[in-house]
Structure 1
Amino acid sequence: MADSKLKIDIRRNKILERLRETGVVRVTELSRELGVTPVTVRTDLASLEQDGYLDRVQGGAVVKERMTEVQETPAKGTEEKLAIAAETVRQIPDGSTLFINSGTTTRYVATALKQRKGINIVTNSMAVVAELGDVSGIHVILLGGECNAQYGYTYGEDAKAQLGRYRADLAILSVDGVSVEAGITTFHADEAMIDKMMMERSGKTMIVADHSKIGRAGFTCLAQISQGVELVTDGGCDKEKVARLEAQGLRTTVV
């Protein structure tokens, strides 16, 4: 019994080690690498999620924000996202109409938008509504639909139908990965269709992503790298990876 428990602990520690290295783990890959069934892997992930080490998503699991903050001091991570948000808002003129999705960095963008006037926002993020819902000079529409309470966003057919009634000057999206190989990606498949529609129904798309997202790939592709998208990231990014993205036509601002 004790030996069985030890094997479980070793296996779960290996899962956490991989998660810290890559930020994302997939059930199929873990099953192959650890020599266990997908059912066993899912059981391990469920236990680790219950203990607060990770968040499960379709097909695998992602690192919790607080685990990333252990590797990078919280102050540094916050400062980087604040700088990205400030640069993003600097490029937004008063009177703009915006689509904004959910995410930590877009929440910082919402806070920075309080300095703007005459802004109209359509969002599926409850955090954005909480930040800007009662701010004078800013009008916010929250998309209805199904609710992901854990991550604070709405999604589904009702949300898509409502979004289809609007167009925006700019879509501001927080994503989980930007790479030449995988394109612009997210871990949340249920929100992906909302993100895609925001990109399609706006004149321009701005991706706000800190350096940890550059070169990473999530589960669901929103779009390939193209000239119609701009990336705002921080100075901690891998310059070679950024250069490769720019060679594919991605306009990049590093703050």
Structure 2
Amino acid sequence: MTETKQEKRLRQLVELMQGIDKVHLRQAADSLEVSEMTLRRDLYSPHPTLAVIGGYIINKQSRNDTEYELYVQSENNVREKSFIGKQAAKLVKPNDTVFFDNGTTIVHIIHAIPDDMPFTGVCFSLNVLTALRNKSNCQAILCGGQFEPRTNHFYPLSAQTDLDHIRFDLMFCSAAGVDAIQGLTCHELTELPYKHRALRQSRHRVLVVDSSKLGRVRRAAICGLEGVDDVLCDEELPQEWYALIGRKK
């Protein structure tokens, strides 16, 4: 059976991507002598090994599930996350001790903190630590334990951790799902120990979440909406949700 032009392009793309993590969309289009839009259309439907994220074609086979998910999440809802990050960064005061939860929205907060702001940043995720290290006036603290490569974070091995000795002026809490009844939830149970500790040990707890997470429920329970003091989102929450948090809209 003769292959179609699209099938031929996809076959050539797979061959081009052998042993490569990613290639710029323009470079791939030039190699195949077609337009970037043509390749975007070719990969509009899910492909078993290739995906277009931002301006790149990604080889899903060369990445583990966590790397691919982090890559996807970092490219999703970027405008919304950047907006939330800029608003959240305004809450950080000089010399504050801040707990930064995991997630790509958290990284946008760190990027928006002025470079000359002195603060202490505590985290348990490698991508968050990388962002903190780029702030020259930040004292970064990484919560230790066993590294979970599927989620890119650490989790404690015992009942006591270094985090028990720290009190936070501010906590930025993330969630993969936010629901009026089920509250805040995340994907993995291993995310919970440090989240729960930080919630207990923070003076002010702010949920930072983009609107794509609203109304969703994941398997690991973080806390109810009443467990946070404020919410920063790119959309207004329903009035009854603000009532659960304990403040007016």
TM-score normalised by structure 1 residue count = 0.65
1:250: Cα distance to partner? 5.0
2:140 corresponds to: 140
1:64: Cα distance to partner? 4.3
Identity between Structure 1 and Structure 2 (%)? 22
Residue 243 in structure 1 maps to residue 230 in structure 2: no
Residue 126 in structure 1 maps to residue 126 in structure 2: yes
1:16 corresponds to: none
2:9 corresponds to: none
Q: Which string of whole-angstrom CA distances, capped at 9 and with x for unpartnered residues, describes residues 48-93 of structure 1? A: 9x869x959xxxxxx9467779xxxx5x711110000000001222
Q: Which string of whole-angstrom CA distances, capped at 9 and with x for unpartnered residues, describes residues 83-121 of structure 1? A: 000000012222211011211111111212244512011
Structure showing greater Rg? 2
Q: Is the 8 A contact 1:132 1:140 kept in 2?
A: yes
For the residues of structure 1 that align with 2:159 and 2:145, how far apart are their CA atoms? 5
For the residues of structure 1 that align with 2:122 and 2:73, how far apart are their CA atoms? 29
Pair 145,77 (structure 1): closer, same or farther in 2 beyond 3 Å = same
- Amino acid aligned to 2:126: M
- Amino acid aligned to 1:204: H
Alpha-carbon RMSD across the aligned residues, in angstroms, is 3.1
1:152 corresponds to: 152
What is the DSSP-based 3-state SS (H/G/I as helix, E as strand, rest coil) of the residue aligned with 1:203? Answer: coil
For the residues of structure 2 that align with 1:207 and 1:243, how far apart are their CA atoms? 16
2:175 corresponds to: 175
Pair 182,142 (structure 1): closer, same or farther in 2 beyond 3 Å = same
1:184: Cα distance to partner? 1.0
For the residues of structure 2 that align with 1:139 and 1:91, how far apart are their CA atoms? 18
Greater helix fraction, Structure 1 or Structure 2:
1
- Amino acid aligned to 1:242: P
Pair 173,227 (structure 1): closer, same or farther in 2 beyond 3 Å = closer
- Amino acid aligned to 1:94: P
Q: Is the 8 A contact 1:169 1:203 kept in 2?
A: yes
- Amino acid aligned to 1:132: L
- Unaligned ranges ≥5, structure 2: 1-47, 50-59
For the residues of structure 1 that align with 2:141 and 2:248, how far apart are their CA atoms? 29
What is the DSSP-based 3-state SS (H/G/I as helix, E as strand, rest coil) of the residue aligned with 2:226? Answer: coil
1:86 corresponds to: 86
Structure 1 residue ranges, 4+ long, deviating more than 4 angstroms after superposition: 63-69, 250-253
Pair 64,138 (structure 1): closer, same or farther in 2 beyond 3 Å = closer
Residue 229 in structure 1 maps to residue 194 in structure 2: no
TM-score normalised by structure 2 residue count = 0.67
Size of the alignment, in residue pairs? Answer: 191
For the residues of structure 1 that align with 2:182 and 2:216, how far apart are their CA atoms? 8
- Unaligned ranges ≥5, structure 1: 1-46, 57-62
1:150: Cα distance to partner? 3.3
Residue 211 in structure 1 maps to residue 211 in structure 2: yes
1:244: Cα distance to partner? 2.6
1:206: Cα distance to partner? 0.9
